[in-house]
């Protein structure tokens, strides 16, 4: 009973803190398109429902760059689930069992979904919520990101005139690049924790620009 009471108090305090964070946030119908879970951290921080299907998934940097050049095409395209063994990530040594699907010529890894059915349902539902007038692209460094990816990302955003950020621990520069110094690594993979993503960008200020 005591533990239950503490848990209830904790959840109430957490909800109050999210309400407090939303003060001054003019836009709540934004869609952050990220290459991994990092975009979802922003929705969680403010306590806002997901207006993006990229929460809980993973994309290679190459595929992410394809997606942001034509997001409406990919988010309205059908999914074709494939065997994990046929994917690039599996061939590179990550022998996973979670769902993976082809969307035209890109592969989406549903890393936090137990079944194909749940993955497809949430992808379609959240894709239908995308606000194409208030898109923000968020690319976070992965173990396979190369310097040319940074150049390509900045070029795409410049040409499409879309807002976005590239979070990286590398000493690279660009108009959309944010260098983050305190990113921990595990087996050469950067660990983008929620607190790192939130403090790296003035999210309220940037989202209010959309």
- Is the whole model's pTM more than 0.75, yes or no? yes
Residue 15 pLDDT: 64
Percent of the chain with pLDDT over 70: 92
In the chain, which stretches have pLDDT less than 50?
Answer: 2, 10
Residue 11 pLDDT: 53
Residue 10 pLDDT: 42
The helix or strand, by DSSP H or E, that contains position 153, with its residue range, turns out to be: helix 147-160
Interatomic CA distance for residues 49 and 60, integer angstroms: 25
Question: pLDDT by residue (tens digit) across 129-177?
Answer: 999 999 999 999 999 899 999 999 999 999 999 999 999 999 888 899 9
* Rounded alpha-carbon distances, angstroms, from residue 190 to 10, 60, 193: 30, 14, 9
């Amino acid at each position: 009973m005591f533990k239950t009471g503490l848990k209830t108090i904790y959840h109430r305090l957490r909800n109050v803190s999210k309400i407090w964070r939303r003060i001054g946030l003019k836009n709540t119908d934004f869609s952050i398109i990220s290459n991994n879970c990092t975009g979802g951290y922003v929705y969680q921080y403010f306590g806002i429902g997901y207006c993006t299907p990229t929460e809980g998934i993973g994309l290679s940097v190459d595929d992410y760059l394809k997606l942001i050049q034509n997001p409406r095409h990919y988010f309205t395209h059908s999914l074709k689930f494939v065997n994990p063994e046929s994917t690039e990530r599996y061939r590179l040594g990550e022998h996973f069992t979670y769902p993976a699907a082809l969307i035209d010529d890109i592969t989406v890894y549903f890393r936090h979904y137990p079944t194909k059915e749940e993955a497809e349902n949430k992808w379609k539902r959240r894709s239908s919520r995308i606000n194409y007038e208030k898109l923000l692209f968020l690319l976070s460094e992965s173990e396979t990101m190369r310097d040319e990816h940074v150049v390509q990302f900045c070029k795409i955003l410049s040409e499409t005139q879309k807002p976005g950020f590239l979070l990286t621990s590398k000493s690279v520069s660009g108009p959309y690049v944010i260098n983050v110094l305190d990113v921990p690594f595990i087996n050469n993979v950067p660990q983008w924790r929620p607190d790192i993503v939130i403090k790296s960008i003035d999210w309220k200020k940037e989202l209010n620009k959309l």
